[in-house]
Amino acid sequence: MRFSFNDLKLPNAVLAAWQRLLASRIGQRVAALPWWHRWPTRREWLLFAAALPLLFALYVLALIPFTPGIRDIRKAKLEQPAQIMSADGKQLAQFKRSNRQWVKLDEMSPSVIKALIATEDHRFYEHHGMDWRRTLGSVVHTLRGDPQGGSTLTQQLARNLYPTEIGRAPTLNRKLKEAITAFKIEALYTKDEILETYLNTVPFLYNAFGIEMAARTYFDKPAARLTVLESATLVGMLKGTSYYNPVLNPDRALYRRNTVLSQMVKRGVLQEAEFAQLKKRPMRINFERQEEPLGMAPHFAQHLRKWLIDWADRNDYNIYTDGLVVHTTIDSRLQNWANQAVARQTRTLQGVANGAWSQRDGWNASNPLVQQLVRETPAWRAARKRADGQGKDKATDKDSEEDTLKALLADKAFMKQLREDKTRVQAGFVALNPATSEVLAWVGSRDFTQDAYDHVQQARRQPGSTFKPFVYGAALQQGATPDDKRVDGPVEIKLPGGEVWRPTDATPPTGREMTLRDALAYSKNTITAEVMQSVGPARVARLARALGVRQSPLDEVPALALGSSPVSLLEMVNAYASLAHGGRWLPPMMVTRIEDAEGKVIAEFSPPKPERALDEDHAYALVDMLRAVVDKGTAVAVRQRYGIHADVAGKTGTTQGNADGWFILMHPEIVTGAWAGFNDPRITLRSDRWGQGSRSALPMVGDFMSRALRSPVIDAKARFEPPEQSHWWSDMVGRLRERMQDWWPDQQPPAQPGQPATPEPAPTPEPAPEPTEPPGPGLSPGEEIIESTPALPAPSIPLTQGTLGPTDQRAVQEATPATPALPGGEDAPAGTGVVITPIQP
């Protein structure tokens, strides 16, 4: 039951007095409460309404520090990419933030500007950053449930230039930041400058930024030649580049184009009669992706970009905006000759590969390797994933695998593409100045657009016999001389696992004595392995690291003598450059100086103090031994085929199954090296003749050097000068240094524990009479020594560490069985290089 004053039946006067008293008491209580516990009074409402604009202004002021500063806005228009220059002043590359070509406003078609202003911001020349009428209209439409954009061109420019600082979320905070930045832009730029900046920065898909690249991408013409229809098409894309993409959505693009044309009529920049004719025309485009120019040394430029970004971050520069001019060590003439030499030789080798892997010969459905390659493709994995999702039992699943394999092997288009990808010949080439270790030429692959993987610096491959000079260099350190003799006979080396390694050569041992110089010239596996055992793998690995092989791990096992540890081409050429520089190591150098946009030099670079890696006398003796490789050994084609008569020295190399071909050549002013092969080492040229380093890699170096030596770039008369007669004191210091290296070897643990095994005595043929001719094979004019390739064991470091290209690493790792690192070599036919026999108790 609810109580009421009327139930008391009091007189009206008393009742009214009671109500007034009660209201007064309640009012006193309410007045005594804090203001936040009661309903605001009219006065308080008025005060709040008056303070609201002030609070809004304070909030806007608080946002100003979080918007782009004046300096940043000025830099946006003046954004200049870094210019990468060769040593002789030719441009190698530009480091752009995006694929854009800046064009001035008066170089654009007038129809572009008319269509843009009529559609996006018809009061552009009247406002100062924000169109208040359009903004209020947008708010009203949004409240009615019909959201519309109200941003001016200046606000859109602010959003395009600073997406991180302003953001993309549809919030009041973002709109305020956008408006503040727009006011700043209007204060700094003229209207024409704003239009020019906007049209040069707006994105148009397909890595096309700005109206110039958009015109070339969609219509294959410059922005100055765009017609009214083409201009309307591009301006129409700005509402939604993907939705109104004329390539994928031509109907939507056509509708949007006609909408832009109608807006042009509405704003008085297009006649009604002309509009009636234009809107009937179909959508026509001439689409062509616009790739950034690669330059003559794209792999070098990409390697340099990583270093330059790090340098710029440390020194408060931006390589994409600050207009840096980077002067490199590349010589454009040498680089062009290197590009041409690689292109010519890889074309020749590709013809050999195509014949070796034709469908009639090697590339057929019955080849187990081809079947394995099919199983490693994304198409195979996708098919197996679909089959696994069907929940089949093991027997059915095995039949399904066979059906999938048969289907893919029968797919001619699939198999053709797979064969082209897997049998594409690759190559790497690099040249250094031995005196400074400056990079003079760098070719990372056959074609950067097809394979951006860098076979100079990224790839790790077994170097084969090009590693042998480090074995003989370590022997020289231990007191051997080039004229020391060893018997060319069988060698047996006991391994820690209880097995015996018997390295062989292409030809049976002669039983004659052979000097170390000739053993290196003719690339004798047996004698090299014996020399390795006498000095120990640890000393050989230490010398190789000191000379320049510093990034790749080296397994300190007997097989290291024959190049079993994968290394990069750059490391090997750097090590040979150290030999040519008298045994002094310098890191490869890419940049000489950096200038700012005004031409002021802000950084200069010079070679550091060289590190002594090998005594000068021993370095010269080793170079002299490598002269014999060119004069009468495995690289005699340098002189016979390419007519190079300068003072040069070098070494060829070939690995298991002819998977890798190497050649490195030293000259007093330039050291060059080349590698040839395939991204997948299971794919070879299938030819003992063409697979040799003297046939696959040497022609690139020979072609290049024959041109370089005929030019003024390289002095063809320069010679390796023997060191001056050393003083007894410097001689003693050198010997003491080598002795200290023996006492305190490198701390890097060997890949396989244990000391080098002592060579097992083997039956030696009766000594033959001392030969009167050189102990190597006799050559008639035009002949050359063909190296042999023993079956080297699988590399002991995972292939995923850089041996292959990115697309092949996983596949080869899964397909290659784990094999212990056993000694092999370069110079015996496949299948004859390694003989393992258990030691009898």
Please state the three-class secondary structure of 703-744 as a single string.
Answer: HHHHHHHHCCCCCCCCCCCCCCCCCHHHHHHHHHHHHHHHHC
Least-confidence region, from 139-143, 164-168, 315-319, 571-575: 139-143
- Mean pLDDT over the full length of the chain: 81
Residue 620 DSSP SS3: helix
Q: Please tell me the least confidently modeled range out of 472-486, 594-608, 724-738, 798-812.
A: 798-812
Q: CA 275, CA 229: separation in Å to the nearest integer?
A: 10
Over the stretch 609-645, which tens digit does the pLDDT of each residue have? 999 999 999 999 999 999 999 999 999 999 999 999 9
Q: Which of 577, 281, 608 is nearest to 440 (CA)?
A: 577
Six-digit token pair at 115? 């269509």
On the question of pLDDT at 680 being above 80, the answer is yes
Q: What is the pLDDT of residues 175-206, one digit of tens each?
A: 777 888 888 888 888 999 999 999 998 999 99
Q: What angle do CA 559, 561, 567 make, to 5 degrees?
A: 85
Residue 31: CB partners within 8 Å, gap ≥ 6?
none
pLDDT at 536: 94
Q: What's the fold here for domain 426-723+754-838?
A: Beta-lactamase (3.40.710)
Each residue of 122-135: pLDDT tens digit?
889 988 877 767 66
pTM of the predicted model as reported, rounded to 2 decimal places: 0.75
Q: What is the pLDDT of residues 468-477, one digit of tens each?
A: 999 999 999 9
Which amino acid is residue 828, in one-letter code?
A: A
Model confidence at 327: pLDDT above 80: yes
- Is a pLDDT exceeding 60 seen at residue 764? no
- pLDDT value at residue 429: 98
Note the pLDDT of residue 16.
74
Counting runs of H as helices and runs of E as strands, what totals does the chain give? Answer: 30, 18
pLDDT at 95 over 80: yes
What are the pLDDT digits (tens) for 10-24? Answer: 667 766 777 777 777
pLDDT recorded at residue 78: 64
Residue 588 has pLDDT above 90, yes or no: yes
Split at pLDDT 50, 70, 90, the class of 779 is: very low
What confidence score (pLDDT) does residue 142 get?
59
What's the pLDDT at 332?
Answer: 97
Q: Retrieve residue 599's tokens.
A: 């031409």
**DSSP codes of every residue in 529-574:** HHHHHHH-HHHHHHHHHHHT--SS----SGGGGGT-S-B-HHHHHH
CB 504 within 8 A of CB 788: no
For residue 802, give the nearest of 429, 343, 548, 444 by alpha carbon: 444
pLDDT band at residue 271 using 50, 70 and 90 as cut-offs: very high
Task: Give the start-end residues of each E strand in 398-516.
Answer: 426-433, 438-443, 485-487, 492-494, 499-501, 513-515
Average pLDDT over residues 714-735: 72
Whether 635 and 629 have beta carbons less than 8 Å apart is answered as: yes
Q: What is the structure's pLDDT at 183?
A: 85
Count of all residues that appear for the chain in the document: 841
3-state secondary structure of 650: strand
**81-95, 359-373, 706-720: range with lowest mean pLDDT:** 359-373
Structure tokens at 130: 């924000």
- What mean pLDDT comes out for the span 547-570? 95
| Phi, psi (rounded to 5 degrees) for 800 | -70, -5
| Residue 734 neighbours by CB under 8 Å, 6+ apart | 615, 617, 726
Mean pLDDT across the stretch 37-50? Answer: 69
| Whole-number Å distance between alpha carbons of 449 and 298 | 10
pLDDT at 365: 86
Which pLDDT does position 133 carry in this prediction? 73
Are 437 and 574 a contacting pair, CB within 8 Å? Answer: yes
Q: State the pLDDT at residue 424.
A: 94
Residue 154's Cα: distance from chain center in Å? 38
* pLDDT tens per residue, range 57-84: 666 666 666 677 766 666 666 678 999 9
Q: Please compute the mean of the pLDDT values over residues 230-243 and round it to a whole number.
A: 94
| pLDDT band at residue 434 using 50, 70 and 90 as cut-offs | very high
pLDDT of res. 768? 34
Give Cβ neighbours of residue 612 (< 8 Å, ≥ 6 apart). 583, 584, 585, 737
Tell me, what's the pLDDT at 729? Answer: 45
3-state secondary structure of 667: strand
Domain boundaries, the chain: 29-66, 97-278, 426-723+754-838
DSSP letter string, 101-113: ----GGGS-HHHH
Please give the CATH topology (third level) of the domain spanning 97-278. Penicillin binding protein transpeptidase fold (1.10.3810)
What integer pLDDT is reported at residue 793 of this predicted model?
A: 39
Classify each residue of 643-657 as buried b or exposed e, where b means 16 or more C-beta atoms within 10 Å of its C-beta: ebebbbbbbbbbbbb
CA distance 425 to 677: 6
Give the pLDDT confidence score for residue 725 in this predicted structure. 58
Determine how β-strand 91-95 pairs with β-strand 82-85. antiparallel
The per-residue pLDDT for 178 is: 80
Angle of helix 368-375 relative to helix 412-422, nearest 10 degrees? Answer: 100
* Three-class secondary structure of residue 100 per DSSP: strand
